[in-house]
Structure 1
């Protein structure tokens, strides 16, 4: 097994036309590989459904439930994973990672996406003393709002916006990756939040398995990413904001570096109570004022319904 994750497939494994050559991400819900498409001669990213809480990989490479009592949850989660891939494969947007195909193999499911060559916001922020410059924050905000407007227009939520799920390509374009709707659905079924939310970026309603979520939830997480990019650190965990709220507005702490309207918009997006936040991207965008000029969102291209392919 690879050093990055003991459950990962070995480097060099073939999945049909794809040859795995690196693990580039892993978590409680699955593993993401960089792979080489031997037919098209290009790199892609492949996400594998492997929920470690109730599944494991056998020595022969098959992914199986940890026991009979986990079989139904494993199969249900795999179906939700494929549902999400099927939905995301049906549209294209310049700030959303394209899903190219999906398939089943090794007892589990896989999603094939474009490999976005760049660094995550998380990686950029880990550089010592790194904070984004005003123009970088504006470009990040524009890309995230544009991408989310398209996602929400199709009736979807991202549900897991955080610095590691935003790639800044080498040309500077921000790309949203790794949607979390299937993980949220699994959390609701199994009644556990393990691996489902990311403290400091998740709104308070995600802490309750029956909490009402909507575009305002993605807005909170987006504002948390922008806060980190502006200030160099994430906002307080939403759970710590119950009662006495320790949040310090950016409009106060960062007024010497950034446009006041932009800071106020991010502060508004980070309102603790869901009803105090903008309820839609369309309502949030004007709050940025001249810091985020109104531009026409790139159209979302609806694609024909795709059938799962055989690896």
Structure 2
């Protein structure tokens, strides 16, 4: 087991460790300062020295991909008996912390926006011959918080480091799975062929994982559940119906129908029936979604079916109609997340409006 690195340590004669910023099941992640290029970077090192050969291969895989929706691999070096990967530092948090922790479910427009960006990054990786193997919300980095200023895939090939842990946990049953944060985090997004036989993992497995993520984002629910109970559902491709609220509101029915149709294609049981990443990019390009930046505010005036939101930080009035509510309707005083558009009525118009947790 490799130990943690002290703050202030200088590695490879140029990287000054600032602080630990993450710890996954297989690696430590540090913020460090590159004295040569005068910028902060992310520094990753495996926890388990027995996985170092696989760590090198994952670094080589990541270095092959160059795309705005993929975190850049900048360097690889060895210091003593430890291996290190240098990656672009994304000033933000993962998709789970940036979005899923704040909303019950995301509207179809923001879901399509996220879907499209991740699909582009995935297509670039597949063009480079690289399979991610572990797509999940915690491996998608977001800068700008709920503004979603940048969306980048990270941690290519890390799942290879955990193959033994996956096999032992699944063979050991529910207690073993419950004791493995790595397996618990990955299982809801794993493709059925990957659960049955790791040698069957392919680019189509990444497509399944992306579809599972998007299902969770648009519904607020993991498509097959979590833990050991999810395995038979994943293997059968058995999902329940989408929540009624996706289609009960005329304002969102059409867009949700289009987005869920693409999700359904990703979650086809036979890998050969799923779209390729290029086909997925094309499908997402046909989804109608605005690039209008989302902002925060507070519902301060609710009447019968309309009222006003106090926009942060200006406190200006933004008009809303309750038809623009997505998911659980907010009540007066609730913090909300919305896009605004010019209106001839005086105040700007908010749509959609989502209650924050």
Counterparts in 2 of 1:9 and 1:262: CA distance versus 1, 3 Å: same
Q: Measure the CA separation in 2 of the matches of 1:132 and 1:190.
A: 30
Counterparts in 2 of 1:94 and 1:128: CA distance versus 1, 3 Å: closer
Structure 1 or 2: more strand by fraction: 2
Q: Between Structure 1 and Structure 2, whose CA radius of gyration is higher? A: 2
Q: Deviations over 1:20-79 (max 9, x none)?
A: 22222222321111112223221100110222xxx4xxxxxxxxxxxxxxxxxx2xx322
- In structure 1, runs of 5+ residues without a counterpart are 1-5, 56-73, 294-311
The equivalent of 1:173 in structure 2 is: 150
- In structure 2, runs of 5+ residues without a counterpart are 170-179, 290-357
Q: Measure the CA separation in 2 of the matches of 1:184 and 1:249.
A: 33
User: TM-score, normalising length from structure 2?
Assistant: 0.65
Quick one: which of 122, 144, 147 aligns to 2:121? 147
Q: Is the 8 A contact 2:46 2:55 kept in 1?
A: yes
The equivalent of 1:46 in structure 2 is: 43
Shift of residue 186, structure 1, vs aligned partner: 5.8
Note if 1:12 corresponds to 2:13.
no
Note if 1:161 corresponds to 2:135.
yes
Q: Is the 8 A contact 1:98 1:114 kept in 2?
A: yes
Q: Measure the CA separation in 2 of the matches of 1:110 and 1:268.
A: 38
The equivalent of 1:239 in structure 2 is: 231
Question: How many pairs does the alignment contain?
Answer: 264
Name which structure has the greater RCO, CA cutoff 8 Å, separation 6+.
1
Q: Deviations over 1:126-150 (max 9, x none)?
A: 4343433333222211111111111
The equivalent of 1:32 in structure 2 is: 29
Cα RMSD of the aligned pairs, angstroms, is: 3.0
Q: Measure the CA separation in 1 of the matches of 2:92 and 2:268.
A: 31
Q: Measure the CA separation in 2 of the matches of 1:281 and 1:216.
A: 8
1:246-265 aligned within 5 A? 246-250=238-242, 254-255=246-247, 256=249, 257=252, 258-265=255-262
Q: Per the alignment, in what secondary structure is the counterpart of residue 188 of structure 2?
A: coil
Q: Deviations over 1:3-35 (max 9, x none)?
A: xxx942222222131122222222232111111
Quick one: which of 83, 86, 105 aligns to 2:60? 86
The equivalent of 2:286 in structure 1 is: 290
Quick one: which of 107, 116, 119 aligns to 2:93? 119
Q: Deviations over 1:178-199 (max 9, x none)?
A: 11x2532662699546636711
The equivalent of 1:267 in structure 2 is: 264
User: TM-score, normalising length from structure 1?
Assistant: 0.74
Q: Measure the CA separation in 2 of the matches of 1:291 and 1:213.
A: 28
Q: Is the 8 A contact 1:250 1:267 kept in 2?
A: no
Q: Per the alignment, in what secondary structure is the counterpart of residue 189 of structure 2?
A: coil
Q: Measure the CA separation in 1 of the matches of 2:245 and 2:128.
A: 36
Counterparts in 2 of 1:251 and 1:148: CA distance versus 1, 3 Å: farther
Counterparts in 2 of 1:288 and 1:260: CA distance versus 1, 3 Å: farther
